């Protein structure tokens, strides 16, 4: 997220994670001077996407979920998760979910990932058929 914030300094980027330690590290990096990799346009929120505070509702022009796993992966693929993400988005927002799937280790099948309520396309992804 910080790299994207540095590439687009006129756009506000909000990072969300339930892992407070990761947010602290990213926050420290963002506070550096721009010449040292900082990004004044990056902010961080500790919490789950399902429980976003009111000011963030209908505020995101784009939402990207990077490498969700466990309950986050199951959540973003569910109908309830889709509603929560939609609540954060502006009317024409773009949603991108970047996943890695190992059928031997991941309990969700490829068909579950492609049948999520909002999946319209997959780019550059090769997924084996569900077992």
Asked if pLDDT for residue 22 goes beyond 50, the answer is: yes
Asked if pLDDT for residue 31 goes beyond 80, the answer is: yes
**CA angle, corner 127, sides to 126 and 131, nearest 5?**
155
| Domain map (residue ranges) of the chain | 1-47, 54-120
The better pLDDT of the pair 109, 10 is held by 10
Least Cα distance to 8 among 64, 55, 58 occurs for 64
- For residue 129, the model assigns a pLDDT of 38
Straight-line distance from the first to the last Cα atom of the chain, in angstroms, rounded to the nearest whole number: 34
Question: For a pLDDT cut of 70, what percent of the chain falls above it?
Answer: 76
User: Which pTM value belongs to this model?
Assistant: 0.69
Mean per-residue pLDDT, 73-80:
84
Q: What DSSP designation does 7 have?
A: H
- For residue 85, the model assigns a pLDDT of 86
Give the span between the Cα atoms of 22 and 17, in whole angstroms.
Answer: 8
Q: What DSSP designation does 112 have?
A: H
What is the band of 100 on the pLDDT scale with cuts at 50, 70, 90? Answer: confident
- For residue 126, the model assigns a pLDDT of 37
User: Could you count the other beta carbons within 10 Å of the beta carbon of residue 4?
Assistant: 14
3-state helix, strand, coil in the chain (%, to 5): 35, 20, 40
Contact, 116 vs 76, CB < 8 A? yes
- For residue 112, the model assigns a pLDDT of 61
What is the band of 130 on the pLDDT scale with cuts at 50, 70, 90? Answer: very low
């Amino acid at each position: 997220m910080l790299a994207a914030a540095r590439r687009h300094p006129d756009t506000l980027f909000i990072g969300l994670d339930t892992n407070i330690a990761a947010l602290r590290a990213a926050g420290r990096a963002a506070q550096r001077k721009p010449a040292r990799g900082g990004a004044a346009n990056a902010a961080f929120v500790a919490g789950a996407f399902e429980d976003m505070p009111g000011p963030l509702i209908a505020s995101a022009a784009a939402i990207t979920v990077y490498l969700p796993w466990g309950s986050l992966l199951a959540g973003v693929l569910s109908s309830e998760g889709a509603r929560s993400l939609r609540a954060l988005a502006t009317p024409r927002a773009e949603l991108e979910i970047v996943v890695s799937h190992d059928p031997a280790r991941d309990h969700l099948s490829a068909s579950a990932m492609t049948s999520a309520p909002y999946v319209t396309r997959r780019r550059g992804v090769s997924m084996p058929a569900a077992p």
